[in-house]
Chain A
Amino acid sequence: MRRTSPILAVLLGAFLGAIALSVSTGPTAVSLRQVVDGLTANGWRGIPSDTGARVVLTLRLPRALLGALVGGALSSSGVAFQALLRNPLADPYILGVSGGAAVGALAALLLLPGDSFLPLPLCAFLGAALAASGVFLMARHRRGVSRERLILMGVVVGAFLNALIMLMVAFSPPGKIPGALYWLMGDLGLGTLPRVGVLLPYVAAGAGTLFLLSRGLDLLLLGDEPAFTSGLPVEKVKTAVYLTASLLAGSVVAVSGLIGFVGLIVPHGARVLVGSGHRRLLPAAFLLGGTFLILADVLSRTASPSGELPVGAVTALSGAPFFLYLLRRNGGKT
């Protein structure tokens, strides 16, 4: 335990450093002084008139914060799903959240008129919530929810929703397809300060709840029967973890699209650093996931002169080698 605090401190430093790097990276150089001057000129109220300061405050900062929240939330959710399903291959999308969100988002993008009263994030969130609760209800039986049925139902519902997604893309007007694909690949460009503000309470509540359930997650790793006889109200905890982790994933997917890889791999990386105890693992995964997604986003903005790369592709391209190294280096010790 004593050895873990420095690791968490280093991760926190990296997390803050990544936010700073992201905010200071872009085609135009903006100094910190410009931003502070811009803010003080207005008495710290409202958006400054200086262009550089505006770019930082309305574009780069929300984007960095969105990356932090999305990366952190996906990683926390992934940790929770892996413990809930006792499966290292689980990720936040395994139980239908991604398919539901995508169907909702594409419906908003392709079917609803542009000025619809239902904004895309809300449609995506509703889709995710519907799919996740559907899977959960179908997996229930007399004695509770079994892991095997959850996974099976998640895969079946996911396949059905994927078919819907393909149909929606196939029948949509060609002009709208790139936008739809971009959403499917994940995009942090939708970040605005108000959106980050809307997302923050969901992420804080979700990640906070999971943290409070840490010891329950530890016991769930052992299996239902050992967890039960160790004093855990297993079915209640499983339901709470499922709903919280789905809410967390659904709310970030709604504003960022489907960013893959983070929720699957970051939990394993964090386990290598701090072990499987969730009291340390959840904060570590949140910080590592946020840092990783912000850096991937910086790369996606700067790597190609012809425009932005989809951040979902960058996460896998850049992350896979790094995490392979981390897992192979430490895999033997655990």
Chain B
Amino acid sequence: MSDVLLAARGIAFRYDDREVLAGVDLAVREGELAVLLGPNGAGKSTLLKILSGLLAPRSGEVSLLGKPPESYGRREMARLLSVVGQDPPLDFPMTVEEFVRLGRFPHRGFFGGTTPEDREQAERALGMTGLSPLKGRGLGKISAGERQRAMVARAICQGAKVMLLDEPTAFLDIFHRVAFYEIVSRLKEEYGVSAMVASHDLSFCAEYGERVFLLSAGRVMSSGRPDEVLTPENVREAYGVAVACDRNPATGAVRVTPLRRSETTRR
């Protein structure tokens, strides 16, 4: 049994009068690829913000390596946990390489010089995400998918033990989706990185994820191995769509296929 790196217990949160999370428990173990599923508005992004220390929960507690996020200094925490979120657009010129190198801040601080390791990590992150040929390009001059890969590269460059990723494949084509999950799997195997990916990609998650948390109406409705969570009943209850679940003959992973709408009702 490997160690729990990131855990949440009884997390509740509300925006003014709208309840978003009503008691969420989860745990991410060392070297594990966990997937956070759930329909739009289920509270996935809010939960990731609470796990990353951006929001304080109304009740419940988060622990990162056994301590609450507030007990870490900002840079100390960023060395342990990195986040790929949905960045606002940037109105200033910046190259892909400059952008990725910003991920080294937790190691360099305000005054530290650029060490060979900083350069190496940036090169590695650019290489892993296939952005090396684009590193001199301006962020405003690349596609949405390339920008998304650049954000992943920045997080890799940060060198953290735990990565939280909020829909990192939203703008990616199937080639780059596969590439993304391969990168995360490689980080996991080679560097022992744990990742939690919020996604709507049921089949990709089943293929690559080791543990799935299905969030619905502010609670973890189901959690466990992909084949335990991704059942037609669970998917229908969470998303309100009818699906067929079978096995991918090539890999044995669960495969989720939507059925036509006629007999489904969305609650």
Q: Give bound CA distance, A218 to B90, whole Å.
A: 11
Instruction: Select A215's contact among B78, B81, B92, B105, beta carbons within 8 Å.
Output: B105
In the assembled complex, A87 has its CB within 8 A of some CB on chain B: yes
In the assembled complex, A186 has its CB within 8 A of some CB on chain B: no
B90 adjacent to A229 (CB under 8 Å): no
Instruction: Select A275's contact among B74, B93, B108, B154, beta carbons within 8 Å.
Output: B93
B93 adjacent to A271 (CB under 8 Å): yes
Known: A225-B85, A229-B83. Contact between A276 and B74, CB under 8 A?
no
Residues of A within 8 A of B85 (CB): 225-226, 229
Closest residue of A by beta carbon distance from B86? A225
A334 adjacent to B141 (CB under 8 Å): yes
Known: A230-B158, A334-B138. Contact between A276 and B93, CB under 8 A?
yes
From residue A211, how far is it (CB to closest CB) to chain B in Å? 10
B91 adjacent to A229 (CB under 8 Å): no
In the assembled complex, A212 has its CB within 8 A of some CB on chain B: yes
Known: A228-B54, A229-B78, A230-B78. Contact between A275 and B105, CB under 8 A?
no
From residue B158, how far is it (CB to closest CB) to chain A in Å? 7
Known: A88-B91, A215-B109, A225-B54. Contact between A277 and B82, CB under 8 A?
no
Residues of A within 8 A of B87 (CB): 222-223, 225-226
Total interface residues on A, CB under 8 Å, equals 30
Instruction: Select A231's contact among B54, B75, B94, B138, beta carbons within 8 Å.
Output: B75
In the assembled complex, B15 has its CB within 8 A of some CB on chain A: no
Contact with A along B45-84 (1 / 0, CB 8 A): 0000100111000000000000000000011011101110
In B191-234, the 8 Å CB interface with A consists of none
In the assembled complex, A2 has its CB within 8 A of some CB on chain B: no
In the assembled complex, A169 has its CB within 8 A of some CB on chain B: no
Residues of B within 8 A of A212 (CB): 110-111
Residues of A within 8 A of B88 (CB): 86, 223
In the assembled complex, A179 has its CB within 8 A of some CB on chain B: no
B111 adjacent to A231 (CB under 8 Å): no
The size bracket of the interface on B is 35 or more
Residues of A within 8 A of B25 (CB): none
Q: Classify the interface of chain B: helix, strand, loop or mixed.
A: mixed
In the assembled complex, B38 has its CB within 8 A of some CB on chain A: no
Known: A213-B110, A334-B140. Contact between A232 and B105, CB under 8 A?
yes
In B78-129, the 8 Å CB interface with A consists of 78-79, 81-83, 85, 87-88, 90-95, 98, 102-103, 105-106, 108-111
Known: A212-B111, A222-B90, A225-B54. Contact between A230 and B106, CB under 8 A?
yes
Q: Give bound CA distance, A212 to B110, whole Å.
A: 7
In A210-269, the 8 Å CB interface with B consists of 212-216, 218-219, 221-223, 225-226, 228-233
Residues of B within 8 A of A221 (CB): 90, 92, 94
In the assembled complex, A329 has its CB within 8 A of some CB on chain B: no
Closest residue of A by beta carbon distance from B49? A225
Closest residue of B by beta carbon distance from A231? B78
B98 adjacent to A219 (CB under 8 Å): no
In the assembled complex, A45 has its CB within 8 A of some CB on chain B: no
Residues of A within 8 A of B140 (CB): 334
Q: Give bound CA distance, A56 to B86, whole Å.
A: 57
B75 adjacent to A271 (CB under 8 Å): no
In the assembled complex, A328 has its CB within 8 A of some CB on chain B: no
Q: Give bound CA distance, A86 to B91, whole Å.
A: 7
Residues of B within 8 A of A334 (CB): 93-94, 138, 140-141
Q: Give bound CA distance, A231 to B105, whole Å.
A: 7
Residues of A within 8 A of B53 (CB): 228-229
B106 adjacent to A277 (CB under 8 Å): no
Q: Give bound CA distance, A275 to B90, whole Å.
A: 14
Q: Give bound CA distance, A218 to B139, whole Å.
A: 14
Residues of B within 8 A of A229 (CB): 52-54, 78, 81-83, 85
Q: Which of A212, A216, A219, A275 has the most CB of B within 10 A?
A: A275
From residue B47, how far is it (CB to closest CB) to chain A in Å? 15
Q: Give 22 pairs: A residue, B residue, CB < 8 Å, sorted on A.
A: A82-B92, A83-B92, A86-B90, A86-B91, A88-B91, A88-B92, A212-B110, A212-B111, A213-B110, A214-B110, A216-B110, A218-B105, A219-B102, A225-B54, A225-B83, A229-B53, A229-B81, A230-B78, A230-B106, A275-B93, A276-B98, A334-B94
Chain A positions within 8 Å of B, measured between CB atoms, are 82-83, 86-88, 212-216, 218-219, 221-223, 225-226, 228-233, 271-272, 275-277, 333-334
